[in-house]
Structure 1
Amino acid sequence: MHFSFDKHIERRNTRAVKWDLVKSLYGDEDVLPMWVADMDFEAPPAVTQALTERAKHGVFGYTFTDIALQDTIIDWLTYKHNWEVNRASILYSPGVIATLYMAIQTFTEVGDKVLIQTPVYPPFYDIVKNHDRKLEKNQLVLDGDTYKIDFDDFENKLKQGVKAFILCNPHNPVGRVWTKGELTRMVDLCKKYDVLILSDEIHADLVFSPNQHLPIANIDPEMKDNIITCMSPTKTFNLAGLQVSYAIVSNKQKREALEKTFHKQGMHILNTMGITALEAAYEDGRNWLNGLMEQLQVNLNYLTKAFSSHKEVKVFQPEGTYLVWLDFRSLNLSQDDLKKFLQNEAKVGLNDGASFGEEGNGFMRMNIACPLESVKEGTNRIIRALNRL
């Protein structure tokens, strides 16, 4: 079946964060939003059909998860990531960030050190600070056209008493898909210093060839009991509003402890439509996802080529995610002036690079999960504004 990714979907007046908050965030309805990480594409037809059929039933009472749903997840992880997990290891959650919040509450104490790799997804900072834990940063090193891990600093931070390490793989916003060598080294060091790994792998399915996502819990069997992996179909199939995710927690004691925390917070029941969408997406969304990745590659190719003759903007090629890290530092603008330039002159709404940490100053993040015409429009708006400088 052929899937079209060039259809314009009017999202205004649907309470869409991306579109209906444009004026309040950027001060102008004419700003083209290319920021928050959801897509302007329709979900797979199988998902829409499953949700429609469920809605026709008309009764939306409490819904439980069963073996069939577990098997659907197991089949997906085997198909997509060559990762075999046990049914018992699956723990459900309304979202990856919710799971990370609960895990920090469960497995660390006030004042404990928690390590993140910056620049990184803004909620990672909140997860640590909102629980009165001590934030430790392993700053990623910009080496030419890519970001690398400073392993000397990584080990130095771990040996100073870090209790938990929050990994982002694929990494948001820089787009790295960590290699087996990099993952192995992180696992070995966390094993050496007895550090719990909390791995956000929500973008795991969105990887550009020839890169391959490797679940960190599948690197070393001896370490899997000290790793909690957070995953979801929501980024993959544009289901963020349905709030459904799961964690793979191999260790029984850790799984029971984490589940207890979820119950304490009243967050132990998934919503009916989220369950329905997860099942339909994983069972019948494979060809749609292949088509999506082809479209994202087309969009990325256009963006890269368009900016290739404009040295004021450097495009970091993402190995995964549909988020592109753009370097505007050659403009020599302050971060505030860069934001004003993009929203007032270019009329494009991007994510502020500084929101990912101080290491993001001079950078912005662009979401290219939209029809090619939208990518062209956003890119050309920026180019025309640059030409007026």
Structure 2
Amino acid sequence: MDEPPEALLPPIEELVSEFNDLPRPERRPDGSPNHWVFGTCRLYLDYDPTTDVIIAVNPQSNDVKMDGPGRMVSWETGSAQAEATVPYLLDAFLDDPRNIQNHPRPSAPWTWSTLDADKAQAVQDVLEKHGVRPEVCKVGVCSEEELEVLERVRGKVFQRLLDNAKKKPKPKSPVDPGNSTRCHGCGLKRQCFFTPLMMCSRCNKAHYHSRVCQLEHWTTHKRACAIHGALKHFYNRAAKDPDARALLKSLHLESYPVDQMLTLHLPLRRLVLAGQDTPENLELLFGPHYKQGVKKDHEDMRIECLLDPPPGSPSHAKYATTDAASLNASPRPATEAEQKMVKEVRDIQEQIRKRRAKGKPPSQEDMFAILWPITGRNWEAKYPVFVLARNTMVDPGVLADEFRGLSLSSA
């Protein structure tokens, strides 16, 4: 079968009758308290639609009871979820594993608890409604330690099911920044876990169900986290800090709606143009980790400003509406490395002038003819430099986007 069938359960009246007849010892045969923690979660294998299971664990012995699959998590209201869950919960305790050596005989729990107060009350109401004996109807709220045990067992059970079925999870699909419904590490939805998803404290954009998922995703998330973290710091600091506000005023950004900036290019460019892009000012506006978030953009902006694109160039047109006319452009002097980069761009511009026809963008042949002698087969590494050279020189009537769209399929 492509998907597992929903578990077929006896009528609820029959389940309740059998459950009420179970012995209810205070302690289990191994001496551990007869206390169980249970929760429902969504089970993801490589089939569709997804199904739900209920898992109950004895926190001391780590013994597990499980039942399903069935629809439990996806109901809209807590009462509907509880109504769907209780039959599977009772059936999990009724299941008699008599053919498994040394396994305890079925018994009702002495006490049990679940994830939170709302779920506990909803399950308790359903148990009482269907006539479960009163001493078992009381459902508590599990402790953080018990929740950790339940989540750990869930992970092991899930992996065991995958191994037994010889199936693998669906390939991970990227999770959009800010999406709080899925773990950005493993890609599973929050309904798959007992514990809530935790938010990345630096950027507030990524969510994880465990520290392991966060660490495994860090190499992918690191760059975006730093950028969002710098943007978050800019929103908070620029709106409240007097020194930051004074700096923004000197950059003619005091009346700009800071919280509406989607990127940091504008304040970064103003800092560079005014020669105020010092480490102290960068940290003031973008936070102590600004190097991780804006270093590359800052370096690129420095080179572009040092090239001083003339009127008529695509770069000049790009910033004509956002550069403050009253801001005196005086970037800090170029470092030795920046001087080398500027010279490289100027040399490429000179090559472009020699090869292209007036009023037309350089062709793909022009690009290869210029870059190949410099880099050989590694010409792609210099492609951004070529684009920068093209965008910071005058070429009336030709837009930067016309060259950015140049096909590289024949490379």
Task: Please give the TM-score of this superposition, normalised by the length of structure 2.
Answer: 0.20
Task: Name the structure with the higher strand share.
Answer: 1
Question: Whose Rg is larger?
Answer: 2
Q: Which has the higher contact order (CA 8 A, sep 6+)?
A: 1
